Amino acid sequence: MAWYLMDETQRPYRHTKIVATIGPATESLEKLEALIAAGVDIIRLNMAHGSVEWVSEIIARIRQASANVDRHVAVMMDVKGPEVRTGPVDTPMQLAKGDRLELHTGDFEALNDGVHRVSVNYPDLPGDVDVGAMVLIDSGLLRTRVLEKNSARVVLEVLTPGVMGSRRHINLPGTQVNLPALTDKDKNDLCAGIAAGLDFVALSFVRQAEDIRTLRSYLDEQGCQARIIAKIEDQAGVRNMDEIIHETDGVMVARGDLGIEIEYHKLPLVQTQLVRACQSEGKPVIIATHLLESMIQSPIPTRAEISDVSNAIREQADAIMLSGETTTGAYPLESVEVLKNIVTSIEPSVERPINDRIQLHEPKSKMLRSSVVLAKELGQSGVVVFTRSGFLAYVLGAMRAHEVPIYAFTDVQSTFHQLMLPWGVEPFLIEFSDDPEETIQDALNVLLKKNWCKPGSWLVVITNALADDKIIDTLQLRQIGVEDA
C-alpha cells in the first residue's frame, strides 16, 4: 500500500485529478460547495447547454463556493464548437430500413411521395460527402448511406430503423468537413468566461493544429492566458493527433462522438494511443464520457464502469471526467465518491517506471527528472517547486513518479488554478519573497501546518539561488519540521 494512504494524520494524496461538469443537479451554491469539498479539482461548463448570462453568474458562484469551503478549483469552459445538425421537424419521423431521407441545405418542398425530407445547417454538406459514405444521425442511432447528391441536397438510404426528432446531431465518419474552429456563439461565450476568470478552454472537434492556433490567437487578442484543451472526437483529430498535441496545452479524449466516428472496438486502442502521445509530449490528458453513465440513475456503478475507470488510472491519465453524472444525474456526489474510491484502490497498485518517453532538451528539464528520481529513492518524500508560469510543475507531473507528490508553489492566481490539472501536482498560492530562503521556509511551513508532510520528512526542493551575483538553478534536500519549523 502506498505510503500516502497509511498515515491517518497526513492528508490523503491523489495523483489522478477529477473533473465534474455542472448542470441543474449541481449548480446551486450548496451543491457546488459539496462537490468541491468532495474532491473535485476542475469544474467544467458545457456551453452546448449554457448561455452568456449563465457564465458570469456560475463562475462567480464557483469562486464563492471555493472560498466557503476553503478549497480552490479550476474552471474549464467547453465551447460548443461547430456542429452539423438536422433542422426542425413538425412531428418525429418514423424511419424504416430502406427508406429514403433527403437532407436539404436550403428551402425544399414537402411532397407526399414517401420520401422523408429535412433541412441541414451545413451548406457545404453535398460537396463534402461522397456517394457511398456513411452518415450517422442522433449519436449514431440512425445509420444511413449516401445514395446520390446534387448541389442542394443529399439523398440517404436508411440502414437502421428509428425515430428522428428535431435538430439531431450528424456525424460524418472519415469525411473532412470545412467548418470553422470557432463560431460566433463560441466567441460570445468566451468573452463572458474571460471576463469572469476562466482557467481552461476546451475546444470541440479539433481536426488540425490550425484549430488550436485559431483559438489561441483569439484568446491572445482578448488578453487571456487560459490553457487550451483539444477535444479529440473524430477521425481527423485522431489522424492529426501528433501535430495537435504539439500545439495544444492538453487533450481531452472525448469518447462520446469519438466512439461514433471510429469503429467501436478500436476506441480503447485509440484512447491508449492518445494517452501515450500526450505523455511523450508532456501534455495533460483527460479521459471523458460514459465513465459512470449508469450512475445518472443508479446509486452504484456497473462492474464494467469500474474497470473502465481503473483502466484510465492504470494508463496514468491526468484526469477523469464526469458529464451527465453530475449535470442531471440523481447521484452527483456519489459519483465523485466512486471515482475517489477507485483511484484510492488502483493508484497504489500501479507499478511503472518514471516516464521515459518525454523528450527533455533543456538542462533544467533534466534536473527535474533527477529530482523525482531522488524523491522516489528517498521514499515518503516529495518535490517542492516554485513557479510563476506553471511550466516546471507541468513537466514534473509529466514524469509520472508514483508516490512522489509535486508540491507546486506560485504567487500567480491564474497559474495556481491551472496547476489543478496535471497529474500528481498539488498547488499552493503564497507570496514570494525577494529572499529565496524565506520563500522556501514559508512553503515548508505551509506543508507542515496543513498536514501535507510529517515532521522529519525529507523533501527535494527546486529553486533559484544567488551565487556571486548570479541566479543559478539548485536542487536541494530539506528536512521539514526540524530546523525549518
The residues assigned a catalytic role are 44, 85, 231, 289
Could you count the other beta carbons within 10 Å of the beta carbon of residue 350? 17
Could you count the other beta carbons within 10 Å of the beta carbon of residue 393? 28
Rg, C-alpha atoms of the chain: 24
User: How far apart, in whole angstroms, are the C-alpha atoms of residue 252 and residue 320?
Assistant: 9
Q: Are strands 162-164 and 153-158 parallel, antiparallel or unpaired?
A: unpaired
Closest Cα partner for 465 from 435, 421, 442? 435
Cα angle at 252 between 45 and 37, to 5 degrees? 50
Q: What is the crossing angle of helices 209-221 and 184-196, to 10°? A: 50
Cell representation of residue 390: 506553471
DSSP 216-244: HHHHHHTT--PEEEEEE-SHHHHHTHHHH
Cell representation of residue 366: 533534466
- Report how far Cα 114 is from the mean position of its chain's Cα atoms: 45
In degrees to the nearest 10, what's the CA dihedral of 39, 341, 400, 431? 20
Query: What is the residue whose three cell numbers read 526540524?
Result: 482
- Residue 401, C-beta contacts closer than 8 angstroms, at least 6 positions apart: 354, 372, 373, 375, 376, 383, 424
SS3 35: helix
How buried is residue 416: exposed, middle or buried, by Cβ count under 10 Å (0-12/13-18/19+)?
Answer: buried
Query: What is the residue whose three cell numbers read 449541481?
Result: 26
User: How far apart, in whole angstroms, are the C-alpha atoms of residue 457 and residue 346?
Assistant: 25
- Determine contact, residues 281/247, Cβ cutoff 8 Å: no
- Determine contact, residues 27/61, Cβ cutoff 8 Å: yes
Helical residues (DSSP H) of 347-461, grouped into ranges: 363-378, 391-398, 413-418, 436-449
